[in-house]
Structure 1
Amino acid sequence: MNAMSKKVYALTLSMAMSIALIQPAVQAAEAVKPTATVAESIASKATQTLQQLGYIDGTTDGMKESQTPITRAQAAIILQRVLQLDAPASLTGFTDVLAKDEAAPAIYALKQSGLIQGQAKGYAPDAPLTRAQMASLFTRAFELKDNGIQVVYSDMEQIPKVHMEDAIRLKQHFIIEGSAFNAKNSVTHGDFADALYLALGLDVQSEGLTPLEDFFKQPAQAGFQMSPDGKHLAHMEPWNNRMNIVVKENGQDKSVRITSETERSIAAFVWATNDKLLYVKDEAGDENYHIYVTDIDGKNSKDLTPYPNTRAILVDSLENIPDEILVGMNKRDPRIFDVYRINIKTGEAVLAAENPGNITGWLTDHEGKIRVAVSSDGNVSSLMYRESEDKPFENLMTTKLGETFAPVMFTYDNKNIYAVSNLDRDKTAIVEYSPSSKKVTKTIYQNKDADVSSFVPSKEKGTILAAVYETDKVNYEYFDNDFKKLMQDLQAKVPGKEVSISNMVEEGQVLFAAYSDKSMGTYYFYDSKTGKLDKLADAAPWINESKMSDVKPITYKSRDGLTLHGYLTLPQGAEASQLPLVVVPHGGPWARDSWGFNPEIQFLASRGYAVLQVNFRGSTGYGKEFLAAGNKEWGKAMQDDLTDGVNWLVEEGTVDPKRVAIYGGSYGGYAALAGLAFTPEVYAAGISYVGPSNLFTLLDSLPPYWESERNMFYERMGDPEKDKELLTAVSPLFHIDQMKAPLFVVQGANDPRVKQAESDQIVEALRKRGVDVPYMLKANEGHGFGNVENQLDLYRAIEKFLNRHLMQQ
C-alpha cells in the first residue's frame, strides 16, 4: 500500500517476485575439531578471565594443574562461587560428605539449589567429574535451553539416558565441539575452565557492550497509522512476545489493545473504515496469510478468509464502499488468485473476477472497479484493460523479460494509468499511459542514475506530489511546492534524520517517522497548520545511538569493470585496519540493500566486525542492464562481485584476509554456501540462513502460486534441462569436497520458498564426510524466523559461532 494513499493497490506477481527469495558454518573432514590455535586461545583466555573474576583460585579447586582430572568436589566449589550460592545451615545429606569437609558448603549449596542430585548414601566428592556429569551440572546451573540446533554424536548410544539431553545442550550452545561426546571421559581442570568460560558467555562479553537482546527485541511501538478521518491512531506493540494492535484516540494517552495473538505476530494491518481495521497473519511461517477484521474496540473479530491451504492478498480496501474489500485468494487453484468481494461485517465472499489461469495481478480504479489485469508466463507479460466490469479485457501491450510496465494506479479521473516503466529506457520511470490511445502520454519523471520506484499521490489535489527513487538513500523529486515545503519543514524539525510519511489528511495533519542508520525510528504527529509537533514513540528507546556505527555508502569496480554500490559498516571507534569482516549478501537476489538502521548489521559491528553489503549484479534499482547482468550468474559473476569487494577491502588494509566470514539469508544463504564451495580460500567461516543448496531441487519445489513465473526463474537462473551443466556447476551441494571453512546452517521447517530439504541435504552430505555442522532447525518457522524467542536463539548462536572462528585466531 502506498503510505500516502488511503487506497490499497495490488502489486503484480512479477513485481512481488523481485523479492522472491528474501527475507529479511563447514569444516573439512580432517578438521572436525577446533584448530589448535583456536583451542589454545580459548584456554588461555578462559583461565585468565576466570582468575580475574575470582571464580578460580588454584588451591581449593586444583586449577593450577590444568591437565589433571577435576573432582566432583572441586567442580562444586567453583560453581558455588560462580553462582554465588549460600550454603545451607545444615551440611548433611551425603554419607561421604561431612560438614567439616572443605567442599561441604559448596556441595550442599548445589544440592539445595537442585543442581546436583546424587544418592543419599554418597556423592563421591573425590571421584573425577565425567563429561556427562559436567553436561548436567552446566545445563542446570546456566539454564541451557533447547535452541533448535540438531545435535548428532557418533557415540550417541554410549551416553547415559539421564545425561542425554544435557550432552546435547552443551553442543547446542557451542560449549563443546566435535563429533564424539565421550560421556565417561574425565574432565580435566583445563577442560572445565574452557567449558565454564564458554557457558558463562565470557567469550562474547566485554565492558560497555550493547546487549544482544537490545538489537533484536520487538519494537516498543511501531507501524503507526491514522484512521481515514484522522481521529484515531493505531500501532503495533508487543504483548506476550507477539506484536499486536493497539488503538487510541488522537491526542489522548489512553490506548486499548484490540488483538491478542499469542502464537504468531500480526504481520501487517490497515484501517478499513474509521471504526474497523484489517490485519493479516500466517501460521508458523507457512505464508498462507489470512485477512482478519476487528472493530476499533477489539470486538467482532473475524477471519474473513477461513480457508485451508489458502493465501489471501488484499487487492483494494474500497474506501468508498465502507463494508466491502477486494481480496485475491488461491483457494480454487493453488497456482492462481481469483478476486473476491468480501463483506467485512458478514464475511460473505462473492467471486468478483475469476482468473483464467494466467493473471498475475489486478488493478482497480478509484471506484473499486477491476479494470486492469496483468497476465504473464514468466517471460512475456501482457497489460489487459477494460472500460467497465461488464466488458471483456483487451490486450493493450506485451512486454518481454527485463521490460517493466507495472500499472500502479489510475489517474483520479479514472481515464489514464500511472505506471512504473522502463520501456525504451534502461532505468524505470514514472509515466502516464492512455488506454484509449495505447500510448504513454507523459513521462512524469526519470532519473539517469537509478530506477524511479514509486510516487506520492494526492487524492485531494488529484495529482502526483513527488516521485521516489533510491541511490545511496531515498530521494524525492517534487512536483508540488506545498508538499516540498512540508517535507522541508519536517526534515528541519528532525535534523540529522530521514523522514518517511505514513499518513496525511486533508486538514493538514501528518503522521511520519524519522530514522537514520543509528536509529530504528521515532514516530511523530505534526499539524502543518499550527506547526505543532508531537512525539508519539521511539521504536527502540533502549538503543543508544552514540554506540551505533556509521553505515557508509561505497562504490568499487568489479573485475570486469562494472561499478558496484553497497554499504560498509565499521565498528564504532575502531581503526580501519586489519579488521575481521562479515560479508552479508542480500536475499532476492532480485532486490537490493538500502541505507538505514539494520539490527543485524549494527549487532555485528558492535561485536567488532566490519560489515560489507553489496548490491551485486542482478540486484534491483540500477536499471535493467544491471539486473540482466546477473542472468545465469548465480555462483559465478554474482559471487565474484562479493569476492571483489573482499579483495578491495583487503588491498585497502581495512580487513584481515584470514578473518573473513560470509552470512546471508535466502539467496544470501546460497551465496554463503557458494562462497565456501567456490572460493574456499576467501572465507574462514560461513552461515547459511534458509539458503538453497541445490538449484535443481529449489526450482522443483517452487510454491504453486509462483508457477506462472517459472520461465522467469529459468531465464534468470538456468533451465534444469537446457542448463543442466550450469546448474550442477553452481549448486554448492555437488561441491562439498571443496569446502574447508566451518559452516552453520539455519532453517525453518515450514519454509514455502526454500524447503527444509535444501538445508537437510547439504548437512547430511557433509556429515557423511565426517564434517561437524551445527544445524538450527525451528519447527514453528518459515522463510526467516518471525518469533522473537527463535530470533534470539539464532543471534546468540551466530555470536558464538563467529567469535570462535573469527576472533579466536
Structure 2
Amino acid sequence: MMRYVLSAVLLAAALPAHAQTPATDVPLIERAKIFGNPTKAAARLSPDGKWLSWIAPRDGVLNVWVAPADHPSQAKPLTDEKVRPIRSNFWSPDSKVVLFIQDKGGDENFLLYGVDVASGKQTNYTPFEKTRAQVLQISSKIKDRILVGINNRDPRWHDVYSLELATGKLTLVQQNDGYGGFLADDQLKLRIAEKSRADGGVSYYRMNDGKVESTPLVEVGLEDSQTTSPWAFTTDGSTLYWTDSRQRNTSALVAQDVASGKMTVLAEDQRADIGGTLQDKKTGRVQAYSIDYLTQEYVPLSDDIKDDLAFLKNNTKGQFVITSRTEADDKWLVAVDAVTAPDATWLYDRKAKKLTRLYVSRPELEGAPLAAMQPVEIKSRDGLTLVSYLTLPKTVDPTGSGKAGKPVPMVLFVHGGPWARDRYGYNSYHQWLANRGYAVLSVNYRGSTGFGKNFISAGDLQWGRKMHDDLIDAVQWAIRNGVTTGDKVAIMGGSYGGYATLAGVTFTPTTFACGVDIVGPSNLFTLLQTIPPYWEAGKQQFYKRMGDPTTEDGRALLKERSPLNYADKIRRPLLIGQGANDPRVNVRESEQIVDAMAARKIPVTYVVFPDEGHGFARPVNNIAFNAVTENFLAQCLGGRAEAIGNAVKASTAQVKHGAEFAPGLAEAIK
C-alpha cells in the first residue's frame, strides 16, 4: 500500500501546470473554440431543392435553422430547444417538414419530431414515454408518409408504423415479435426481415404482404454477421443491394436479382470493406461506392457521375463527402475536410460545374495552428496490420511531415465500440491535445470494423487481452520511432476506449503515466446485465464476442477481463467522467471502480454529469470535463494547459470524489 500513498504524495508535490508549460511559439487554442458550438453544421438540401436546413446555435443551444436555397442569408430558426442540442436533421419527402430526433438528458429514448417550414408548427410524432423511435424508410415516390419503428409496446422490439406527416397519424404495419429489423422498398412495403440466431449469426427472410417466409433467404454466421447485410432496393424493387463478406474477407458490394436470386459482385477491395454508396435519385441504381482504408475515396461504377467526382476531387482541398442531393440531382452538398482547417460545406451545381462555399463550421479556427494527421500502418506482435492515425504537435513537426524532431509526451486515444473505427480527418481531440504539446495516436485495434471480417473476429473474446496487446504494440512502435518515451504516455478514451483505459492501468499498471476514462465499463458482467432492452437482437453477438454470462466458462472469462477485479493493482493517476443517465454503460460501472479505489486509498478523480448519457452532448459539459482533463494531463505528462477558470462551475459537473488529485479542480468548484 505504501506505493499508492507515495503516488499521492508525488502528485501533491508536482509542479503547477503553468510551470510546466514548454517554451513554444505555437499559440494556445482556446478549448471553447474546439469544443464549443459550431457556427453551422449538418446542412441538408430539401428534395425539391428549394430549401436548406442546418444546425446552428440559438441562444447558445444548437437548433434547426432553415433558409431558401438561393438566399442562405435569410435563414430563420425552426426550433427552440433551451438545454439539449439537436445534433442532426433530415427532410420529409415532400420538402414541407424538417425532421429531427431528440432524447432527454442522454437517456437515448429518441423521439421523432417534425417542424412545418411554412407554419413553424412543431409536432412530436412519437409522443410516448420510455420509447426509442427509428426512421425505417423514406421513399422517393411516396411523399406523404414514412415508415418508423417504435418500441413502446415491448422495449426489446420495434413495431413498424406508417406515419402520415401532415396529421401525425400512426398506422400499425407490422407487429414485431422478435425480429432485429426490417428492410422496406421504395413503395414502403416490408420486403426483408432480420432475425438473430443463437450462434450470434443472422437470418434474413423474405416478406410478402406482411408475412415472413419460413425459409431464410440468406443465412449469415457469426464471422460474417457484421459485414453482411441487405442495404437497399432499386426503386422498382427488382434489385437488392447487399454488403457481403461470405466467401471472402472484406465485404463486397453485391447486387441480387430479386426474381432469380442471382448474386453479382459489383465491387470489392482487398484492403477494406465497402463503406457506402451513391445511388441514382430516380432509379436507386448504385453509381459509386466509397472505400475507407487509410483515407476515404469514392470509386465510380457508372459514367453518369464519374466526371462530377473527378471535378470535386480536383477542386477541393481535402477529403470530401457528398452529404445531400436534390431529387432532380442537380445540386449537391459537399463537406470538405482539410484536417488542418475547419470543415467547410459547399453547394455544388452539377450543370454549371460550380462550387459555392456555404459556410465554415468553425470560422474561429481559420488560421489557427492546426496540426496534420498522418495515417500509419503498425504491425501487431502476431502480424496484423493496425491502421492508425498520428498527430504530432507543431513544435516538433512544423511542416506536418509525420516525423517528430524529438520525442514528446503522447496520449494514446482509444476509440469506442469496440465495433467501430478511427478515421482520417479533422479530429477535435487530436487537435486539442496536439496543441497542448502531445503526440496523439489512435489505433484501429483488432475488433475494429471496416477492415474485413477476419480483423473483427480476431478480437472475439479478446477484451483486455489481444485487443489490449495491439494498443501496447502501438505504444512500442511510437517509442521505437522517436515519437515519445516510455515514461510519458497517457491512455484516454470513451466507452470501449474507457474500458481500454481501465485495462491499461490495471492489466499493465506501469505502462501508462496516467489514464482518462470516459463512460468506460469496469465490470463486464454487470455491463452485460444492464445493456438497453432494445439491444436484445444483438445480445448473442455480445456474448459470443465478449464472453457469455449464462455459462460458467463465460462468467469466468468476464470476471478475468474486468478491470474492477484488479483495482488494487492501479498505481497511476486516474480521471473518470460519467453521464448519470447513460443507458449503455450504467453509472454503476464508474461508481464500482471509484469505490474500490477509494477503499484502498488509491487516488482517483470522479466527475459526473446528471444531464448526460453515453458521452457529453452539451458543449458546456464537454468543455468542463476537458478543462479538468487537460490540467490533469499537464501534471501527469508535462504539457501545457488552459486554466480551468469558470468552466466547471458553468456546467452541471458534480465532482463525486478526488478533486484534490486534479490540479486546480478543488479551487474551481469552491
The verdict on a shared fold, with TM-score over 0.5 as the criterion, is: yes
Q: 2:19 matched to which residue of 1? A: 45
Task: State the alpha-carbon separation in 2 of the partners of residues 794 and 769 from structure 1.
Answer: 25
Q: Say whether 1:33 aligns with 2:12.
A: no
Contact 2:437 2:639 in 1 (8 A): no
Q: 1:790 matched to which residue of 2? A: 621
Q: 2:361 matched to which residue of 1? A: 539
Q: 2:187 matched to which residue of 1? A: 367
Contact 2:394 2:434 in 1 (8 A): yes
Query: Greater RCO between the two (CA within 8 Å, min separation 6)?
Result: 1
SS at the partner of 1:752?
A: coil
Q: 1:218 matched to which residue of 2? A: 37
Higher strand share: 2
Q: Percent of pairs identical after alignment?
A: 36
Moved more, 316-325 or 675-684: 316-325
Task: State the alpha-carbon separation in 1 of the partners of residues 349 and 308 from structure 2.
Answer: 10
Deviation at 1:390, TM superposition (A): 6.8
Deviation at 1:45, TM superposition (A): 3.3
Contact 2:445 2:467 in 1 (8 A): yes
Instruction: Please identify runs of 4+ aligned residues in structure 1 that moved more than 4 A.
Output: 202-207, 387-394
Q: 2:448 matched to which residue of 1? A: 619
Deviation at 1:509, TM superposition (A): 1.7
Give, as a single letter, the amino acid of the residue that structure 2 aligns with 1:261: E
After TM superposition, list the pairs within 5 Å mapping 1:287-298 onto structure 2. Answer: 287-297=108-118
Which structure 2 residue ranges, 5 or more long, are not aligned?
398-403, 641-670
Task: State the alpha-carbon separation in 1 of the partners of residues 82 and 26 from structure 2.
Answer: 36
Task: State the alpha-carbon separation in 1 of the partners of residues 308 and 391 from structure 2.
Answer: 32
Moved more, 422-431 or 506-515: 506-515
Task: State the alpha-carbon separation in 2 of the partners of residues 348 and 251 from structure 1.
Answer: 33
Q: Say whether 1:471 aligns with 2:298.
A: no
Q: Say whether 1:592 aligns with 2:421.
A: yes
Cα distance, 1:439–1:760 mapped onto 2, change above 3 Å = same
Computing the radius of gyration over CA atoms, which structure comes out larger, 1 or 2?
1
Task: State the alpha-carbon separation in 1 of the partners of residues 2 and 262 from structure 2.
Answer: 59
Q: Say whether 1:303 aligns with 2:277.
A: no
SS at the partner of 2:16?
A: helix
Q: Say whether 1:430 aligns with 2:249.
A: no
* Superposition TM-score, scaled by structure 1 size: 0.75
Deviation at 1:270, TM superposition (A): 0.9
Contact 1:526 1:532 in 2 (8 A): yes
Q: Say whether 1:281 aligns with 2:102.
A: yes
Deviation at 1:513, TM superposition (A): 1.3
Cα distance, 1:487–1:214 mapped onto 2, change above 3 Å = same
SS at the partner of 2:222?
A: coil
Contact 2:234 2:283 in 1 (8 A): no
Give, as a single letter, the amino acid of the residue that structure 1 aligns with 2:410: L
Q: 1:327 matched to which residue of 2? A: 148
Deviation at 1:28, TM superposition (A): 5.7
Contact 1:27 1:772 in 2 (8 A): no
Pairing partner for 2:238 from 399, 409, 415:
415
Pairing partner for 2:343 from 507, 515, 521:
521
Deviation at 1:299, TM superposition (A): 2.1
Give, as a single letter, the amino acid of the residue that structure 2 aligns with 1:316: Q
Q: 1:79 matched to which residue of 2? A: none
Task: State the alpha-carbon separation in 1 of the partners of residues 127 and 450 from structure 2.
Answer: 37
Deviation at 1:579, TM superposition (A): 0.8
Give, as a single letter, the amino acid of the residue that structure 2 aligns with 1:705: Y
SS at the partner of 1:337?
A: strand
Aligned residues: 626
Task: State the alpha-carbon separation in 2 of the partners of residues 247 and 27 from structure 1.
Answer: 62
Task: State the alpha-carbon separation in 2 of the partners of residues 544 and 34 from structure 1.
Answer: 43
* Superposition TM-score, scaled by structure 2 size: 0.90
SS at the partner of 1:657?
A: coil
Q: Say whether 1:265 aligns with 2:72.
A: no
Contact 1:385 1:435 in 2 (8 A): no
SS at the partner of 1:386?
A: strand
Deviation at 1:413, TM superposition (A): 2.3
Pairing partner for 2:166 from 345, 356, 364:
345
Task: State the alpha-carbon separation in 2 of the partners of residues 692 and 409 from structure 1.
Answer: 35
Q: 1:582 matched to which residue of 2? A: 411
Task: State the alpha-carbon separation in 2 of the partners of residues 407 and 553 from structure 1.
Answer: 31
Q: Say whether 1:777 aligns with 2:632.
A: no
Q: 2:381 matched to which residue of 1? A: 559
Cα distance, 1:545–1:656 mapped onto 2, change above 3 Å = farther
SS at the partner of 1:230?
A: coil
Deviation at 1:507, TM superposition (A): 5.5
Q: Say whether 1:649 aligns with 2:623.
A: no
Cα distance, 1:785–1:589 mapped onto 2, change above 3 Å = same
After TM superposition, list the pairs within 5 Å mapping 1:101-500 onto structure 2. Answer: 208-252=27-71, 253-272=73-92, 273-297=94-118, 299-357=120-178, 359-377=179-197, 379-389=200-210, 395-403=216-224, 404-440=227-263, 442-460=264-282, 462-500=284-322
Task: State the alpha-carbon separation in 1 of the partners of residues 446 and 499 from structure 2.
Answer: 15
Task: State the alpha-carbon separation in 1 of the partners of residues 140 and 245 from structure 2.
Answer: 31
Deviation at 1:310, TM superposition (A): 0.4
Contact 1:580 1:609 in 2 (8 A): yes
SS at the partner of 2:593?
A: helix
Give, as a single letter, the amino acid of the residue that structure 1 aligns with 2:374: K
Deviation at 1:392, TM superposition (A): 5.3
Q: 1:693 matched to which residue of 2? A: 522
Contact 1:490 1:499 in 2 (8 A): no
Moved more, 442-451 or 569-578: 569-578
Cα distance, 1:602–1:389 mapped onto 2, change above 3 Å = same
Deviation at 1:298, TM superposition (A): 5.5
Deviation at 1:369, TM superposition (A): 1.0
Contact 2:98 2:116 in 1 (8 A): yes
